[in-house]
Amino acid sequence: MAGVRTLEEIFIHAPHAFSVTVFGAEPRGNYDRIMLSPVLAGEKRFADIVTHDRPWYEKKGIELIAGEPVVSIDRTARTVTGAHGTTRPYDVLLIAIGSNPVIIPVPGHDLPGVIAFRDIADVETMLAAAQAGQGDAVVIGGGLLGLEAANGLHRNGMKTTVLHLMPTLMERQLDPVSATMLKSDLEARGLTMITGANTKAIHGTDRVEAVELTDGTVIPASLVVMAVGIRPNTALAKDAGLDCGRGIKVDDGMRTSDPAIYAVGECVEHRGTLFGLVAPLWDMAQVAADRIAGVAETDYIPAVSGTRLKVTGIDMFSVGDFSGEDAIVYCDPARGVHKRLVVRDDRLIGAVLYGDACHSGWYFGLIQDGSDISSLRDALVFGPPVEGQDAIPELVEAL
Ligand X SMILES: Cc1cc2nc3c(=O)[nH]c(=O)nc-3n(C[C@H](O)[C@H](O)[C@H](O)COP(=O)(O)OP(=O)(O)OC[C@H]3O[C@@H](n4cnc5c(N)ncnc54)[C@H](O)[C@@H]3O)c2cc1C
Instruction: Cite the DSSP H helix spans in 224-359.
Output: 235-239, 278-293
Examine residue 36 and tell whether it contacts ligand X (CB under 6 A).
yes
Q: From its phi and psi, is residue 346 left (phi > 0), alpha (psi between -120 and 50) or beta?
A: left
Task: Determine which helix (DSSP H) or strand (DSSP E) holds 338, and give its type and residue range.
Answer: strand 337-344
State the nearest-atom distance from the C-beta of 269 to ligand X, in Å: 12
Among the candidate windows 90-98, 171-179, 294-302, 353-361, which touches ligand X by CB under 6 A?
90-98
Applying CB under 6 A, among 7, 62, 64, 70 the residue interacting with ligand X is: 70
Q: Residue 377 CB: number of other CB atoms within 10 A?
A: 14
* 225: nearest Cα among 315, 316, 126: 126
State the nearest-atom distance from the C-beta of 28 to ligand X, in Å: 9
Residue 176, strand partner residues: none
Q: Strand ranges (DSSP E) for 174-315?
A: 192-195, 199-204, 208-213, 218-220, 223-226, 230-232, 248-250, 261-263, 268-270, 306-307
State the nearest-atom distance from the C-beta of 356 to ligand X, in Å: 19
Examine residue 233 and tell whether it contacts ligand X (CB under 6 A).
yes
Examine residue 353 and tell whether it contacts ligand X (CB under 6 A).
no
Helix pair angle (2-13, 278-293), 10° resolution: 40
Examine residue 66 and tell whether it contacts ligand X (CB under 6 A).
no
State the nearest-atom distance from the C-beta of 22 to ligand X, in Å: 8
How long is the chain?
Answer: 399
* 301: nearest Cα among 289, 286, 291: 286
Examine residue 26 and tell whether it contacts ligand X (CB under 6 A).
yes
Q: According to CB under 6 A, which residues from 114 to 133 bind ligand X?
A: 117-118
Cα gap 82→175, rounded to integer Å: 45
Of 108 and 143, the one with the shorter C-beta distance to ligand X is 143
**Pairing verdict, β 347-354 and 337-344:** antiparallel
Q: According to CB under 6 A, which residues from 243 to 302 bind ligand X?
A: 265-267, 276-279, 281
Q: How many residues bind ligand X (CB under 6 A)?
A: 30
Examine residue 24 and tell whether it contacts ligand X (CB under 6 A).
yes
Query: From the DSSP assignment, how many helices (H) and strands (E) are in the chain?
Result: 11, 26
Applying CB under 6 A, among 41, 202, 236, 351 the residue interacting with ligand X is: 236
Examine residue 145 and tell whether it contacts ligand X (CB under 6 A).
yes
Q: Name residues whose C-beta falls within 8 Å of residue 76's C-beta, 6 or more positions apart in sequence.
A: none
State the nearest-atom distance from the C-beta of 39 to ligand X, in Å: 9
Of 209 and 266, the one with the shorter C-beta distance to ligand X is 266
Task: Determine which helix (DSSP H) or strand (DSSP E) holds 327, and give its type and residue range.
Answer: strand 327-332
Examine residue 242 and tell whether it contacts ligand X (CB under 6 A).
no
Applying CB under 6 A, among 97, 126, 197, 351 the residue interacting with ligand X is: 97
Among the candidate windows 1-9, 44-52, 165-173, 189-197, which touches ligand X by CB under 6 A?
1-9
Q: According to CB under 6 A, which residues from 157 to 216 bind ligand X?
A: none
Binding site for ligand X (CB under 6 A): 1-3, 23-26, 33-34, 36-37, 69-70, 96-98, 117-118, 145, 233, 236, 265-267, 276-279, 281, 310
